[in-house]
Amino acid sequence: MSVSAVKNSAAERRIGLLASIPLGFQHLFAMFGATVLVPLLTGLDPAVALFTSGTGTLIFQLITKGQVPAYLGSSFAFISPFIAAAGSHGLPYALGGGVAVGLVYALVAFIIARIGVDWIDRFLPPVVIGSVIVVIGLGLAPTAIEMAGLSNGMGSLASPDVRISLFTIIVTIIGTAFFKGFLAVIPVLIGIVAGYLFSLTQGVVDFTAVREAAWFGFPQFMAPKFNWGVIAAIAPVALVTITEHLGDVLVLSKITGNDYYKDPGLHRTLLGDGLATSWAGLFGGPPNTTYGENVGVLAITQVFDVFVVRVAAILAVVLSMSPKFGALISTIPTAVMGGVSIMLFGVIASSGLRTLVDSGIDYGHKRNLVISSVILVLGIGGAQIGLGAFQLQGMALATLAGIILNLILPKEV
């Protein structure tokens, strides 16, 4: 059987309800830390972020005809613009900018629906998109290392965070490499649970918030307000998240063996992402984006049933309305999530390398070498270029540079 046939058979495999619940929790835990971190940093309500993450994912599933196993969560790209907008105008106006970002997505989706996706091969050939996918994964590497307590000279075994993160990643690796049967498809969940139990022995888990939290309560929704100046400052960030979306959808296509650019179509995935982002802004949540963490879970488990992603989305909505359960999950130490993220983010970067290898990119050609080199250094290095209030940085800048180099460098170089 060919590799593509194996992928397609995996993608078509359906998971029963009983098995989908732990698989759904695995996706929930993978996205939970990042999804609630964004509202904590920007002053929004984490419960609202969970609600808009879950409902936004369901909207995405509806728009994409239930074909793409992507999970949507809070976007890190909007942290700085939201903080700036909140400081100058107030959080409701930042939310209005988030609503506008979703409309930018919708506009781009409409254009793609009209002109098709053939232009992608011209502007984003494998040498560009593969390198960008590597940037997506490795660009997140410092976050994983910091969460794991292994950065800035703090990586001492005397630190409980280091012990916890190392224990978690070791269990996750063992589960991925050696577990059989159903356990083989939930190694991330097993790693998180094992890391959490080990954390209890290290005395770093505080249940105070759990005891004080109510069993049931609605999130604190907030309505958006609109200001053209704020919209002009926040809307250009859509370039970053649209680029991220292209990379995530391409990775999903690679690991499942299905071309989601063509079916259900890139215009549908972009529209679903955009509507989910506008939806989040209407209720007081941060803009959404397709989550690399969950793409990593899919790549590791090889379970691509969209129903599992829907279960995770429903669980997120339920948790958003139960402060008690939300507080319990929030007691998972950052070091545990850092441990599993080391593998999750690495899997994304490896998917980019596989894209380059499978596409037969020849680095004996200086043209390919130059394009990849510039993309990797600009993206992973976090380079930024500003023109007034407009900023291009990191992955967006790297992608734009890769596109320009691909267009201007002669083929024979």
Instruction: Give the pLDDT confidence score for residue 1 in this predicted structure.
Output: 33
Bridge partners (DSSP) of residue 384 are 393
pLDDT of the chain, 413 residues: tens digit per residue? 333 433 444 444 566 777 788 888 878 877 776 677 678 667 788 889 999 999 999 999 999 998 999 899 888 777 777 888 888 888 999 999 999 999 999 999 999 999 887 777 777 788 887 888 788 778 778 878 888 888 776 667 778 888 888 899 898 888 878 877 666 666 777 888 888 899 888 888 878 878 877 888 888 899 999 988 888 878 877 876 787 788 778 778 888 888 898 889 999 999 999 999 999 999 999 999 887 667 777 877 778 889 999 999 999 998 888 888 767 777 888 888 888 888 877 877 887 888 788 888 888 889 999 999 999 999 888 787 876 655 666 777 888 888 899 999 887 76
Instruction: Give the pLDDT confidence score for residue 332 in this predicted structure.
Output: 80
Q: Which is nearest to 303 in space by CA: 39, 15, 3?
A: 15
Where along the chain do its domains lie? 3-117+181-186+202-336
Query: What does each C-alpha distance from 258 to 109, 119, 262, 323 come to in angstroms?
Result: 20, 19, 9, 38
> CB–CB of 254/11 below 8 Å?
no
DSSP 263: I
How many angstroms separate the CA atoms of 53 and 134, rounded? 25
Phi, psi values for residue 173, rounded to 5°: -65, -45
How many angstroms separate the CA atoms of 157 and 267, rounded? 49
Asked whether the whole model's pTM tops 0.75, one would answer no
How many angstroms separate the CA atoms of 169 and 376, rounded? 26
Instruction: Give the pLDDT confidence score for residue 202 in this predicted structure.
Output: 82
Instruction: Give the pLDDT confidence score for residue 155 in this predicted structure.
Output: 61
